[in-house]
Structure 1
Amino acid sequence: MSELTVQPVAGKADRRAFVDFAWTAYAGDPAWIPPLKSEVHALLDPRENPWFGHGRAQLFLARRDGAVVGRISAQVDELVQERMPATGQWGFFDALDGEAAAALIVAAEDWLRGQGMARALGPISLSIWDEPGLLIEGFDEPPMVMMGHHRPEYRAWIEAAGYAKARDLLTFALDIRIDMVPLIDRLIQAGARNPRIRIRDVDKARFDAEAAIILDILNDAWSDNWGFVPLTPAEIAYAGKKLKPIIIADLVKIAEYDDGAGFKPAAFMITIPDVNSMIADLDGRLLPFGWAKLLWRIRKVATTRVRVPLMGVRKAYQSSRLASQFAFMLIEYTRRVCVGKYGIHHGEFGWVLEDNQGMMSIAELPGAGINHRYRVFEKTL
């Protein structure tokens, strides 16, 4: 019988094999979008990703007869420990069969125990801000940018290892050419008449400052959410650098509110073109011509799909009517630009925690429906 081994990643060759294994795991899957290899390598590199300023990780490869048949990461985030003590995580989970899957999960759990962890959450790759959750519904539709795709078998393999549901994360799809329903439209129109509310585009000429404003609101707005980990200043700068090339100024909006002491940022919504549809034919490579293709496609907004990966309203307003007003004004003003200027017709919101009642109001938008469901699993170690 062929022998299965699981070993820690050691050296550049192993790291390349770890990244490249995705091409083996999803060979022939029409819904899988090959990620840019340079982006995955940067995410896993402590010299580039500031997550490693408060986190540590170990990567593992499973091999059978010398061939890679699976991969997994195990990680401990010190910022997670402040909210979920003794909780470690694992991610980048892919395997060709149940035996490899089981052995990989055991290796990740053993490493987490060695780090003093008593509970495991997964899959999370590497943090809640990257690609959290396992796809359990929506296998036929390719994921949008910054969302994951997985094989249907993975759920049973994870549950067989003793894991149960912690939370579900949802994405909503909608045809944005459909006008708002009258009730929501009246709320938007009332906001438009309110001189204390204004909605503006992000200013790319001062992008670093704008990114800091947006992520400051995000840290405040999401701070009570399950799984939340604050972004550090270094991560805010890193996120801004990564997002800037794909930001279209009039698709990123900030709501400002005059609280009696002048206008201050109160809410934001980031809408980005679906870069996945722009890189699908690059096979993970930017060289020799991938960069030129991608930059041209972004500049021309060469997609009919957009995603809202991040949206937030400051906690001070979340229990008031203003929260809904800000949110729906941001959505509607962006919708008009998408449809009228860029000819975009398909939008996706998410992910949204299934128990986030405020954000679940997205389901009230005309034509909206859940198109993907991702599950984060948990287990006591």
Structure 2
Amino acid sequence: MSVTISKINDKESLRKFVHFGIDLYEGNEYYVPPLIYDELATLNRAKNPAFDHCEATYFLAYRDNEIVGRIAVMINYKANERWNHKQARFGFVDFIDDVEVVDALFGAAESWARFRGMEKILGPMGFTDLDHEGMLVEGFDQMGTMATIYNYPYYVDHMYRMGYIKDQDWVEFLITIPRELPERFMRASEIVKRRSGVEVKHFARKDDVYPYAKDIFRLINKAYKEIYGYVELTERQIDYYVDMYIPMLRLDFLTVVIRQEDNKLIGVGIGLPSMSTALQKSRGRFMPTGWYHLYKALKGKDNKVLDLLLVAVDPEYQGKGITALLFNEFIPAAIRLGFEYAESNVELETNHKVHSMWDDLEAKQTKRRRAFIKEL
């Protein structure tokens, strides 16, 4: 039977769109499903403030009334203005290993983009840099993280077959947490505090974080402004992400660096105990029992892997040792709580300043992801 493409136009179809991305990987030991509630909110025009400057549509591929593929295609007009190009993005893409299915899905996405005057299509990308991005091209035998995409190896073969080429790569590292804090971090942190007039802010309760919450995302805007594909978050998006992420924080792995003279936020590091196994057990569902697995991963003592979600430093202070302050906090907390490894999550392959953070630690590159691009 031939493949048919259906455009999503109701909540029930949107749920099918999200669930297909989970069902396709049933039984795969490396795939980590998203939290379904968050995925639905991201794709919902009424909930996601990215739609203030984005346009999107979602397609499902069917054969014999069975879903065999999905793809989202987006235009971030703010990104196109910022980077002076006419690009569409594809993302949230999954499919069976079938030429007809893949060609029908991407054909629909490319036609939609071309009709709107776009000259290229790029992906996998999301609405913002905080969404999942980058197709896995190396590390298929490694457990994914809640912040990244997992895909089968055959995805990559289809991308090249259709004429897509590499635009950018990200790499990921697995870091062995040392049994004691390296002396370099202790020594460097004291020098940085004295020379730069900064200090680490500690929080006893999550409520104490909220006065700094918006400034954390404003700092991310400032620090990431020139990074590949990044588009500054609007105030509405900042409010959205504050509500989404601050309740999830584990204060042991939130490090905030402020300038003493005016209490200005100039650096932040955020980590989170790995939620990968918990999401696998819950299959992305919070209810009825998913919350227990997630809570246990976040608070329990059996979790041995820490996800390093992000580090952001004010450009004025970059290269001045602020990262030493961050690790001077992270490493003792990880040792105290029994963590053995840390996942770096995605880093641009060209961002050698970030890679250098692992120079004094035992770190191994385990994964590589790719953004593919094609002329329309």
TM-score for both structures, normalised by structure 2? 0.93
CA contact (8 A) 1:122 1:378 kept: yes
Deviation track 1:85-122 (CA, whole Å, cap 9, x = no partner) reads 21110011111023211221111111111222111111
Deviation track 1:154-199 (CA, whole Å, cap 9, x = no partner) reads 0110111111111101121111125565555543343355582211
Corresponding residue SS for 1:237: helix
Question: Which residue in 1 is equivalent to 2:273?
Answer: 273
Deviating above 3 A after TM superposition, structure 1's stretches of 4 or more consecutive aligned residues are 178-186, 192-195, 299-302
Per-residue deviation, 1:267: 0.9
Q: Structure 1's 376 and 254: CA in aligned 2 closer, same or farther, altered over 3 A?
A: same
CA contact (8 A) 1:37 1:284 kept: yes
Question: Which residue in 1 is equivalent to 2:177?
Answer: 176
Question: Which residue in 1 is equivalent to 2:213?
Answer: 211
Per-residue deviation, 1:294: 2.6
Corresponding residue SS for 1:281: helix
Question: Which residue in 2 is equivalent to 1:283?
Answer: 283
Corresponding residue SS for 2:152: coil
CA contact (8 A) 2:270 2:310 kept: yes
CA contact (8 A) 2:88 2:120 kept: yes
Corresponding residue SS for 2:271: strand
| Alpha-carbon separation, structure 2, partners of 1:87 and 1:302 | 44
Question: Which residue in 1 is equivalent to 2:372?
Answer: 377
Deviation track 1:200-256 (CA, whole Å, cap 9, x = no partner) reads 234622333222121111111111111111111111111121112320112101112
Percent identity, aligned pairs only, is: 27
Question: Which residue in 2 is equivalent to 1:67?
Answer: 66
CA contact (8 A) 1:75 1:90 kept: yes
CA contact (8 A) 1:221 1:312 kept: yes
Stretch deviating more after TM superposition (93-102 or 10-19): 10-19
CA contact (8 A) 1:201 1:251 kept: no
Question: Which residue in 2 is equivalent to 1:29?
Answer: 28
Per-residue deviation, 1:317: 2.1
| Alpha-carbon separation, structure 2, partners of 1:301 and 1:6 | 47
Deviation track 1:103-158 (CA, whole Å, cap 9, x = no partner) reads 21111111111222111111113432210110111111111221111111001101
CA contact (8 A) 2:222 2:315 kept: yes
Question: Which residue in 1 is equivalent to 2:252?
Answer: 250
Corresponding residue SS for 1:379: strand
Question: Which residue in 2 is equivalent to 1:314?
Answer: 314
CA contact (8 A) 1:279 1:294 kept: yes
| Alpha-carbon separation, structure 1, partners of 2:196 and 2:134 | 41
Corresponding residue SS for 1:103: helix
Stretch deviating more after TM superposition (369-378 or 7-16): 7-16
Amino acid aligned to 1:73: A
| Alpha-carbon separation, structure 2, partners of 1:344 and 1:76 | 40
Corresponding residue SS for 2:55: strand
Corresponding residue SS for 1:151: coil
Question: Which residue in 2 is equivalent to 1:54?
Answer: 53
Deviation track 1:340-366 (CA, whole Å, cap 9, x = no partner) reads 1x1111101231111112212134132
Question: Which residue in 1 is equivalent to 2:101?
Answer: 100
Per-residue deviation, 1:279: 2.4
Amino acid aligned to 1:143: G
Corresponding residue SS for 2:281: coil
Amino acid aligned to 2:264: K
Match of 2:240 among 235, 238, 241: 238
CA contact (8 A) 1:178 1:366 kept: no
Instruction: Find out whether 1:326 has 2:325 as its counterpart.
Output: no
Amino acid aligned to 1:138: G
| Alpha-carbon separation, structure 2, partners of 1:345 and 1:262 | 37
Corresponding residue SS for 1:10: coil
| Alpha-carbon separation, structure 2, partners of 1:297 and 1:132 | 24
Stretch deviating more after TM superposition (94-103 or 186-195): 186-195
Stretch deviating more after TM superposition (32-41 or 179-188): 179-188
| Alpha-carbon separation, structure 2, partners of 1:331 and 1:105 | 43
| Alpha-carbon separation, structure 1, partners of 2:86 and 2:196 | 49
Per-residue deviation, 1:270: 0.7
| Alpha-carbon separation, structure 1, partners of 2:294 and 2:302 | 9
Long gaps (5+) in structure 1: none
Taking only aligned residues, the RMSD between alpha carbons, in angstroms, comes to: 2.0
Q: Which structure 2 residues correspond to residues 41-190 of structure 1 after superposition, within 5 A? A: 41-84=40-83, 85-97=85-97, 98-179=99-180, 186-190=187-191
| Alpha-carbon separation, structure 2, partners of 1:13 and 1:187 | 55
Q: Structure 1's 371 and 113: CA in aligned 2 closer, same or farther, altered over 3 A?
A: same
| Alpha-carbon separation, structure 2, partners of 1:70 and 1:55 | 23
Corresponding residue SS for 1:124: coil
Q: Structure 1's 25 and 173: CA in aligned 2 closer, same or farther, altered over 3 A?
A: same
| Alpha-carbon separation, structure 2, partners of 1:161 and 1:155 | 10
TM-score for both structures, normalised by structure 1? 0.92
CA contact (8 A) 2:271 2:308 kept: yes
Stretch deviating more after TM superposition (134-143 or 358-367): 358-367
| Alpha-carbon separation, structure 2, partners of 1:291 and 1:29 | 22
Long gaps (5+) in structure 2: none
| Alpha-carbon separation, structure 1, partners of 2:172 and 2:179 | 18
Match of 1:343 among 338, 341, 360: 338
Question: Which residue in 2 is equivalent to 1:295?
Answer: 295
| Alpha-carbon separation, structure 2, partners of 1:368 and 1:190 | 25
